[in-house]
Structure 1
Amino acid sequence: MAERVDDRWFGDWIGYSAAATLASVLLILANPISGYPRTVASAGLVLALFPVYWFLARPSRAGLQKNSWRAWLYVGIATAVYFVAYGLNNWANIALFIVSPQFFLVLSPISAAAAIVFINVGGLLVRWLVGDLDPEDVAGTLGLTVLIIAVSIYFSNRITAVTKESRERGLLIQRLREQQREIAELSEQQGAAAERERIAREMHDTLAQGFTSIVTLGHAVQGELEADPATARRHVELMTETAQENLQESRRIIAALTPGRLAESTLEQALGRVAARFEDETGIPVAFRVEGEPRPAPPAVEVVALRVFQEALANVRKHAQAVTVEAELAYAPDTVGLTVRDDGHGFDAAAPRDGYGIDGMQARIREVGGVFRLTTAPGAGTRLTVELPSAPVEVTP
């Protein structure tokens, strides 16, 4: 089965090939030992190898498979071009620094090693055929050829091995990140399920039983209003007591779900503490002010305002690189407004986002019937404005 070429290193291979081709062409032109016409032709052939590799064997362009027909076609073209260029000028042998790594990129290790041996030995035969190899130079040239083959195979193979190890490491890191995301999602789901189970148990043990008692007493009162008014009156008193107890239990359950910062303080106090804590932790000053006459808002609205403020400051911490932050809590007759503005580098609001912070804020605000506005642009800072209803929110089942 054909092995997929690692195209994650595509940019580096192209950069290396371009640099090596340019250097080879310059060295050939700088050494016109066979005359300028032959030297220019030799340099032109070496230069032509780069576009051939770009259009034919470039992994990301052709979806190249190792040992595929495209790979062998490029190896054949590169070998033939090298032989002709080497026959025109001896300095063309430095083109081996171009093709040797490419052979290992597009062929399997054994096939690439065989191709490198062939192109080096073939180059020696080309020199002999053109009469450029003296008999007394055969031994030295042969030894140098063997050394070049060994070095080319070793270093090209090592480069390929490092590339493969890096690819496997990258795949492993990607799998680890995916597993971490899965674990985080499972943990979140498990935590949410546990919280739902706890709330359901609380409601079953308190509210549901109380409502059952009220319904039972209500049915009893219907038959006692005329026959036994005293007993009916007593049952009505019991229904009132049970309803009051249920009201207290419901308040206790709601209080257990309320953030700790709002448990014993007003919204403006809670936001002020969050701003002060952010300033202490980051060193970024937060100018927090309150407009209008403060008044209690529905608990759900105050929770949303607190969470949005926390998330906005968290985004400033992680992304904005801001110097200052301005925040305003404004009380209007029917709304509670929250504005957070920073002088950071901003971002493109229409671009795809990886995180869930902004989407999470929008979802929270929609749940309570609020309005969310975001104004930002690269280099222009970010302004987040929220308007929340100050009247109690009716949640439909």
Structure 2
Amino acid sequence: MAERVDDRWFGDWIGYSAAATLASVLLILANPFTGWPRTITSAGLVLALFPVYWFLARPSRAGIRGNSWRAWTYVAIATLVYFAAYGLNNWANIALFILSPQFFLVLSALPAAAVIVVINFGGVLVRWLVGDLEPGDVAGTLGLTVLIIAVSIYFSNRITAVTKQSRERGLLIDRLREQQREIAELSEQQGAAAERERIAREMHDTLAQGFTSIVTLGHAVQGELESDPAGARRHVELMTETAQENLQESRRIIAALTPGRLAESTLEQALGRVAGRFEEETDVPVAFDVVGEPRAAAPAVEVVALRVFQEALANVRKHARATTVDAALSYDAGSLGLTVHDDGSGFDAAAPRDGYGIDGMQARVREAGGTFELSTAPGTGTRLSVRLPAEPIVEAQ
């Protein structure tokens, strides 16, 4: 990613350079002890540095500490102009307040420091060449020059360090914004994936089971039309009820509402009706018991229990060839348990599975913070045991 230029920061620096240039020009003109022609020329040279800096080396073009050819060209021009202005009027040395920060803006630390040393000692040499430096003033001037160099380097370097930190913060903010955008995209994708998984799971646990019941009942009706018309009518009624329930469930899946059975009754009543419907459709008896004192649990937990029970009985219908099913809903202090045990053919739990049912049940239970256990083997039937967190719900007074 390209480095972002903090235009507001550089606007402030251009403003400082303009203000410092104007102040330097006024101070030079206010001290015309070398004569007005020389003083005006010196002030003009200092003033001319600002447009040169603007068009050639301001940081928005050359970059902070870029050491570019523009930067070095400006440094060379500024140094020569400063020497000329300083030779015409001593007050031109005030321009160092402009040049020192600029040098640190356009050059890296060591070259900038070297240029400041050169321009300060060069100024002493210029004063000596023009005869403005008495022999007795050499020691004091050199000492003052060293002090000025040290102060200039220190403060200029600190100022440009702040500039660098400002740039880095700007880059960091850009990266954070980019990461926030990526996180938002990922969250949106994950939300869509979770919604697709929810719909697929609900369709598998409700609609697919309902359609399976309708198909099974349809086959039964075909064989009963001639031999058992009463039984055929009963199965047609079951098919109609199942189709209506599927239609209601499809609408609730789209709206992500509570399953119809739970919206109309308690969990134990809903499970009892599922068991009764299964027995009526398959002629396989289901012994359903409730252990402990029934109580309301969180809706999400009750939905998981209902869907697991529906899927367990659907697996018995499709695969087990069972003759009996024992089921129990149990309550204890902080959880509820659900067990479904059939005497069917069983299967190898470690073998690869093509279906979605068992994996879907495990995923539901895990997401709800519960435990899932499956005990089965070929020829021994299947026992499914689920325990879900269900702290008692305290009703508001």
What TM-score range do you get, normalising by the shorter chain?
0.5 to 0.7
Inter-partner Cα distance in structure 2 for 1:87 and 1:128: 9
Q: Partner amino acid for 1:79?
A: T
- Conserved in 1, the CA contact under 8 Å of 2:65 and 2:108? no
Match of 1:123 in 2: 123
- Conserved in 2, the CA contact under 8 Å of 1:120 and 1:145? yes
Deviations 1:28-59 (A, max 9, x none): 11111111111111111000000000000022
Tell me how far 1:233 sits from its aligned partner: 2.6
Match of 2:39 in 1: 39
Match of 2:238 in 1: 238
Deviations 1:344-367 (A, max 9, x none): xxxxxxxxxxxxxxxxxxxxxxxx
Inter-partner Cα distance in structure 1 for 2:100 and 2:206: 79
1:64 to 1:44, Cα distance in 2 relative to 1, 3 A: same
Match of 1:179 in 2: 179
Inter-partner Cα distance in structure 1 for 2:195 and 2:11: 50
- Conserved in 2, the CA contact under 8 Å of 1:75 and 1:103? yes
Deviations 1:292-324 (A, max 9, x none): xxxxxxxxxxxxxxxxxxxxxxxxxxxxxxxxx
Inter-partner Cα distance in structure 1 for 2:254 and 2:6: 56
Inter-partner Cα distance in structure 1 for 2:31 and 2:160: 32
Inter-partner Cα distance in structure 1 for 2:4 and 2:178: 23
- Conserved in 2, the CA contact under 8 Å of 1:4 and 1:65? no
Match of 2:76 in 1: 76
Tell me how far 1:175 sits from its aligned partner: 2.9
- Conserved in 1, the CA contact under 8 Å of 2:10 and 2:59? yes
Q: How many residues align?
A: 257
Match of 2:105 in 1: 105
Which has the higher mean CA deviation after the structures are superposed, 118-127 or 229-238? 229-238
Inter-partner Cα distance in structure 2 for 1:154 and 1:63: 21
Inter-partner Cα distance in structure 1 for 2:257 and 2:80: 77
Match of 1:170 in 2: 170
1:28 to 1:139, Cα distance in 2 relative to 1, 3 A: same
1:5 to 1:135, Cα distance in 2 relative to 1, 3 A: farther
- Conserved in 1, the CA contact under 8 Å of 2:65 and 2:104? no
1:64 to 1:159, Cα distance in 2 relative to 1, 3 A: closer
- Conserved in 1, the CA contact under 8 Å of 2:86 and 2:93? yes
Q: Partner amino acid for 1:82?
A: Y
Match of 1:14 in 2: 14
Inter-partner Cα distance in structure 1 for 2:105 and 2:146: 22
1:5 to 1:233, Cα distance in 2 relative to 1, 3 A: closer
1:10 to 1:87, Cα distance in 2 relative to 1, 3 A: same
Inter-partner Cα distance in structure 1 for 2:137 and 2:190: 78
CA root-mean-square deviation:
2.8
1:63 to 1:104, Cα distance in 2 relative to 1, 3 A: closer
TM-score normalised by length of structure 2: 0.59
Q: Partner amino acid for 1:102?
A: Q
Inter-partner Cα distance in structure 2 for 1:65 and 1:158: 13
Which has the higher mean CA deviation after the structures are superposed, 46-55 or 162-171? 162-171
- Conserved in 1, the CA contact under 8 Å of 2:71 and 2:107? yes
- Conserved in 2, the CA contact under 8 Å of 1:41 and 1:85? yes
Q: Does 1:143 align with 2:143?
A: yes
Inter-partner Cα distance in structure 1 for 2:113 and 2:8: 23
1:70 to 1:5, Cα distance in 2 relative to 1, 3 A: farther
- SS of the aligned residue for 2:132 comes to coil
Instruction: List runs of 5+ in structure 1 lacking aligned partners.
Output: 264-397
Inter-partner Cα distance in structure 1 for 2:182 and 2:152: 45
Match of 2:85 in 1: 85
- SS of the aligned residue for 1:131 comes to coil
1:57 to 1:4, Cα distance in 2 relative to 1, 3 A: farther
1:255 to 1:113, Cα distance in 2 relative to 1, 3 A: closer
Q: Partner amino acid for 2:17?
A: S
Inter-partner Cα distance in structure 2 for 1:17 and 1:179: 37
Match of 2:276 in 1: none
1:255 to 1:96, Cα distance in 2 relative to 1, 3 A: closer
Q: Partner amino acid for 2:88?
A: L
Q: Does 1:160 align with 2:160?
A: yes
Tell me how far 1:178 sits from its aligned partner: 3.5
Inter-partner Cα distance in structure 2 for 1:80 and 1:119: 9
Tell me how far 1:142 sits from its aligned partner: 1.3
Q: Does 1:193 align with 2:193?
A: yes
Inter-partner Cα distance in structure 1 for 2:155 and 2:217: 91
Tell me how far 1:5 sits from its aligned partner: 8.7
- Conserved in 1, the CA contact under 8 Å of 2:210 and 2:242? yes
1:50 to 1:166, Cα distance in 2 relative to 1, 3 A: same
Inter-partner Cα distance in structure 2 for 1:121 and 1:176: 46
Inter-partner Cα distance in structure 2 for 1:144 and 1:63: 32
1:94 to 1:39, Cα distance in 2 relative to 1, 3 A: same
- SS of the aligned residue for 1:202 comes to helix
Which residues in structure 2 correspond to 1:1-397 (within 5 Å)? 9-62=9-62, 66-218=66-218, 221=221, 225=225, 229-254=229-254, 256-257=256-257
- Conserved in 1, the CA contact under 8 Å of 2:7 and 2:60? yes
1:115 to 1:200, Cα distance in 2 relative to 1, 3 A: same
- SS of the aligned residue for 1:132 comes to coil
- Conserved in 2, the CA contact under 8 Å of 1:66 and 1:106? yes
Q: Partner amino acid for 1:239?
A: M
1:243 to 1:4, Cα distance in 2 relative to 1, 3 A: closer
Inter-partner Cα distance in structure 1 for 2:152 and 2:4: 23
1:252 to 1:68, Cα distance in 2 relative to 1, 3 A: closer
Instruction: List runs of 5+ in structure 2 lacking aligned partners.
Output: 264-397
Which has the higher mean CA deviation after the structures are superposed, 209-218 or 153-162? 209-218
1:254 to 1:108, Cα distance in 2 relative to 1, 3 A: closer
Q: Partner amino acid for 1:148?
A: I
